[in-house]
Structure 1
Amino acid sequence: MCEEKVNNFLFNQNEGIGGFQNGKIDVRAVQPVTVNWTRQSRFMGPNNPGIKWELEFNDEIFCSSPVVGREDTIYFGTAYGFLYAVQSDGSIKWKLNLGKSLETPVIAEDGTIYIATIGDFESKNHNLYAVSSEGIVKWSFKIDDLATFSPVIAKDGTVYVTTDGPKLFAISPDGSLKWIYKGERGYWSNPVLSNDNTIYIGSRNNLYAIDERGKEKWKVSIARGSDNASPVITDDGTLLFSAYDNQDDRSKLYAVNRDGTIRWIHTPDEVDIVTPPSLGKNGTIYVGGTYFELMAIGLDNSLKWSTKVEGFQVGPSLIGADGVIYVGTYNNVRRPVSKVFAIHEDGTKKWLISIKGEMTWPALGDKMIYVLLGDFKSKTSKLVAIGEK
């Protein structure tokens, strides 16, 4: 019983509802990934939220979101090329200059942080870095084109990263190349790894299924591919993602079977789906829509409820262990202001908190939410910890 209790408190990409391959990530970390999981956390957020601390720094944020390691150490990258490690009290543990703008990191089983460069959207001379938990570069691998999303880690430790080539790189944990798969046009999703060892990736035109040797299993044309990053896989292998259909100029939620056939398409009556999906333990899919809608959709394609959240939604929702949904939004009408909403499973609002700045995807810890925000006018940014008042 004791061992089972401990195991239940490890990070799990599936949490009983997903169909992801369990990668060689740090399962003792708080939230070691932002993609390639259901977004169902083992933690609950705060009940009465307040700002615990803020760390301000003279840098900008392009694409990076925070991940949280052991002892609540927060890792993220900046536009000026710095990888930060911040301690649970908001003090800087270390920062490392990698020279170019950085994507979102991922934390491996041994504590290695993998992170790729995007530069100032330059087209060449980009790298994937492996950095120790002490802030020392272990190795770098030249991916040439800019990275399009956070890396993902397979069960054997292989690191997959997509580039604007468009290429999918498979890189061994020692930094050597295993293989490259070249697609058509640009990739618009990070790779996701299924528990049957299939790698799925979306482009502007196609959805690809690739085996672990880098060989194409199939590709299908679905709208314009996975138009929003980070698909979700259910426990029966169904792939869920949002994509733009240029035939009727709508963004929809797609459910696709393992063989590439469409199971169903959810087209909301009046809004378009604009965020990647999240999948809760109760089998509910949460997606954001235009006109500030948050929607709860069943695995049978039924709309359970829809509620308004103020501002444009930032990435997918996070789901607490108690079923509470956490949604980040921002509004830049007069000055950049972000909000974090906590919403009950029935769609009623629990609380909201406002913070100055434009946020990226948040991370969820034990009674904590970590938010990275930028202010492009002042070219400054901050990391904010939200906890109990």
Structure 2
Amino acid sequence: MVSAAESDNQWPQAAYDNQKTGQSPYLSSQNDSVKWNYSSANNSVFEGNSVLFGSTPVVGSDGTVYVAYDDVGDTRYDIYRLVALNPNGTTKWTYTFSDPEKSIITSYPVLGPDGTIYVTLKSNGDMSYYQGTLMALKDTGTEAKCVWEYILPLELRDPPTGSSPIPSPVIGSDGTIYLGARMNIDDGRLVIFALNSNGTQKWNYTVMDGDSSNLVGQVSLSKEGSIYFNALVRQYLDYYSVFYALKDIQTSAICKWSYTIRDDAPIYPVGYSTIGPDGTIYVGFEKLAQDSSWNSYLYAFEDNSSYVRVKWIISEFDRIMAPPAISSNGTIYLAASDLISKERNLYAFTDLGSEASLVWKYPINNLEWSPTIGADGTLYVMSFMSSLYAINPNGTLKWTSDIPSSIKPAIAKDGTLYGGGTFVDDSHELVIYTSIIYAFMAPASDIYLLTSIDNQNPTLGDIVTATLKVGNNGPNVAYQTILKFTIPEGMEFINTWADNGTIYYDPATRMVIWNLGDVPVGDPHAYIQFMVERVGSFIISPEVTTASFNPDLNQKIQALFITVKSTNETETVDASNVKTVGMKNTGMPFNAIILALLIVLGSFLTARNK
């Protein structure tokens, strides 16, 4: 089973993938330049003077941005809306949840691999028991249509800690939908549901620990399909935490293992679990002492199928503000406050196997959430009702924005960073809240490759020099740019050099790799010398990749054509002499791959791009 992030959706859920890493494959904003904003003020979409965000943004495969809002109107109850925005910031459509039985959005929307929008809802009213609903919506382009609804079989019970009665679902690669809710069983018990993609139930699993229980945070899924979740359990007046691992066996679920954390003081889990690249599971827990002081812990678990092992524990925190984020290189980023000073910091740790090592910490006032991570390792961090921070992976400040951030940002495929700010006007009798989505400028480049060779018709034993010119028409720097060039069989590598960057030859793969780094607007050159050792016609197709948004890159790569003749005669080259060298897809965004096939029919040559 794989994460929903491996679909075409650009940002399917608040923490990006089902492992909750927060790591995007896309390079994002390098400064605080804003290209547009979408405000709730004087907006015909909303009825009330005050509008609050009901969710973080999620981004579909076509770049549509979906955001939930709490429209504080003049009616007795707030009105919840799901708004779809085009990539240019205009309104695509609005869906209003007006049915009182399913009118309050309980968590942020989630996108399924096929683009279905899943929204968890509860009924409105002043009561302790609610109807719970999972709604599946389809974006038709001009409106949202409800495909199906799943009404939970029992009434909901509000969790005692104020957490969501129905957190957002997660969707497996086979379309199975996993969600949990505190149901009206005994004093309220947590039930995990598995639904088919058509909204019918596959199975449910009831947590029977203690007198009552509720889900804290979302369910997380490992890449192998293990289901992890945190339960807060109450036994009489004692609260403690149990961390579960389930296995989906299609018709039911079995518990692989559970791990209980219990003390002489209440123990609370901190949201969902986060799963690292090697499968290590990171979970935060908080202990509330009798003197109302806190002591919080970050656990690292190793899932050994039938049992769990604790790798290490960090216990130096006052509070843990949110579950950690994990970069693609395994660095753990945690928003927490220091046990002694109470100062809030963004911490960076490395997992050494038997312990964690602190790399750096960066103080941020009002830090509330774990970061969103760009492809270059930049950390985008919200500080509630304060600045949005961009932190370099080495712990230094990249930039800040004066926007009072209030939602965790999302990254789109073109690199746009979507953040949100809420502005408070308390000059009136009733406080007015204005919520604004900001689209921060993405780095965009226009890379091209021009090639030439000093002798297109060499004879055996000649040394030829290929010149590669990588240009960038801008408007921005092309970040993390790499060129790869394979020396065909029948040619011997002699030498290579470049104007800038690093360039080297790998004899094992016969590949010249030119790492240009960040390419400004300009045209650096590289030179490659090789000796021709075989008669025939060759086409060499270099590959250029960049982390910047560069959608037309594959149309601007020029190949090299060489026809090698013998030293004593001019030959008619047949198809068996044609050598074609292409490059495989590296899986990086916006890569350019030109696979050329040279077909020789007599003396007529036809080059075809594939």
TM-score interval (norm. to shorter): 0.7 to 0.9
Instruction: Please give the TM-score of this superposition, normalised by the length of structure 1.
Output: 0.75
Of 257, 260, 263, 1:182 maps to 260
Residue identity in the other structure for 1:95: E
Q: Distance in 2 between matches of 1:183 and 1:219?
A: 12
1:60-139 equivalence runs, <5 A: 60-61=103-104, 63-80=106-123, 81-89=132-140, 90-98=144-152, 99-100=155-156, 101-118=165-182, 124-139=188-203
Separation in 1, partners of 2:92, 2:442: 26
Partner of 1:317: 409
Q: % of aligned pairs identical?
A: 24
Question: Partner letter of residue 37 of structure 1?
Answer: T
Deviations 1:181-236 (A, max 9, x none): 1125111131111122211111121000111132211111131353213x211233
Alignment correspondent of 1:249: 342
Deviations 1:98-130 (A, max 9, x none): 14231111110110110111469x973121110
Write out aligned runs for 1:1-389 (5 A).
23=2, 25=4, 27-28=6-7, 30=9, 31-35=11-15, 36-40=20-24, 44=63, 46-57=86-97, 58=100, 59-61=102-104, 63-80=106-123, 81-89=132-140, 90-98=144-152, 99-100=155-156, 101-118=165-182, 124-144=188-208, 145-165=213-233, 166-174=241-249, 175-184=253-262, 185-204=267-286, 205-213=296-304, 214-224=308-318, 226-229=320-323, 231-258=324-351, 259-268=355-364, 271-310=365-404, 312-314=405-407, 316-331=408-423, 334-344=431-441
CA distance in 1, matches of 2:432, 2:346: 32
Q: CA deviation at 1:336?
A: 4.9
Instruction: Compare relative contact order (CA 8 Å, sep 6+) and give the higher one, 1 or 2.
Output: 1
Superimposed CA distance per residue, residues 323-377 of structure 1 (whole angstroms, 9 cap, x where no aligned partner): 221113345653454321111258xxxxxxxxxxxxxxxxxxxxxxxxxxxxxxx
Stretch of structure 1 that moved more, 327-336 or 253-262? 327-336
Structure number with bigger Rg: 2
Residue by residue over 1:258-302, the C-alpha shift from the partner in whole angstroms, topping out at 9 and shown as x without a partner, is: 03221111114xx33222201001220000124520000011100
Residues 225, 179 of structure 1: alpha-carbon distance in 2 compared, 3 angstrom cutoff: farther
Over the aligned positions, Cα root-mean-square deviation in angstroms equals 2.5
Structure number having the greater strand percentage? 2
CA distance, structure 1, for counterparts of residue 378 and residue 311 of structure 2: 29
Shift of 1:38: 2.6
1:76 CA drift (Å): 1.7
Instruction: Letter of the 1:190 partner, please give it.
Output: Y
Report the CA distance between 1:91 and its aligned residue: 1.0
TM-score relative to the length of structure 2: 0.49
Structure 2 unmatched runs, 5+: 27-60, 65-85, 124-131, 157-164, 234-240, 287-295, 426-430, 444-610
Q: Do the aligned partners of residues 178 and 38 (structure 1) sit closer, same or farther apart at CA in structure 2, a change above 3 Å counting?
A: same
* Cα pair 2:318 2:342 within 8 Å, conserved: no
| Change over 3 Å in CA distance of 1:93–1:332 after alignment to 2 | farther
Secondary structure of 2:202 counterpart: strand
SS in 1 for 2:248: coil
Contact 1:124–1:146, Cα closer than 8 Å, also in 2:
yes
Separation in 1, partners of 2:390, 2:196: 39
Distance (Å, rounded) in 1 between the aligned partners of 2:334 and 2:177: 27
Partners of 2:147 and 2:315 in 1: CA distance: 46
Task: Return the offset for 1:173.
Answer: 1.3
| SS, match of residue 150 in structure 1 | strand
> How many residue pairs get matched?
319
Which moved further from structure 2: 156-165 or 108-117? Answer: 156-165
Which residue of structure 2 aligns with residue 361 of structure 1? none
Look up the equivalent residue of 2:14 and give its one-letter code.
T
SS class of match (1:146)? strand
Greater alpha carbon shift after TM alignment, 144-153 vs 127-136: 144-153
Q: Is the 8 A contact 1:84 1:96 kept in 2?
A: yes
CA contact (8 A) 1:252 1:272 kept: no
Say if 1:168 and 1:182, in contact at 8 Å, map to a contact too: yes
Q: Indicate conservation of the 8 Å contact 2:166/2:182, yes or no.
A: yes
Match of 2:560 in 1: none
In the superposition, relative to structure 1, how do residues 326 and 41 fare at CA in structure 2: closer, same or farther (>3 Å)? Answer: farther
Supply the distance in 1 between the matched residues of 2:170 and 2:2 (Cα, whole angstroms): 11
User: How far 1:322 moved relative to its partner?
Assistant: 2.5
Q: Name stretches of at least 5 consecutive residues in structure 1 with no aligned partner.
A: 1-21, 347-389
Provide the rounded CA distance (Å) in 2 between the counterparts of 1:97 and 1:234: 37
d(CA) in 1 for partners of 2:385 and 2:111? 31
Give distance in 1, aligned partners of 2:192 and 2:283: 19
For residue 384 of structure 1, what is the aligned residue in structure 2?
Answer: none
**1:242 and 1:252 in contact (8 A); partners too:** yes
CA offsets per residue over residues 12-35 of structure 1, 9 Å max, x none?
A: xxxxxxxxxx84547336255433
User: Once the 2 structures are TM-superposed, how far is the Cα of residue 246 of structure 1 from its aligned partner?
Assistant: 4.4
**Letter paired with 2:421:** T
Alpha-carbon contact 1:118-1:148 (below 8 Å) kept: no
SS at match of 2:317: coil
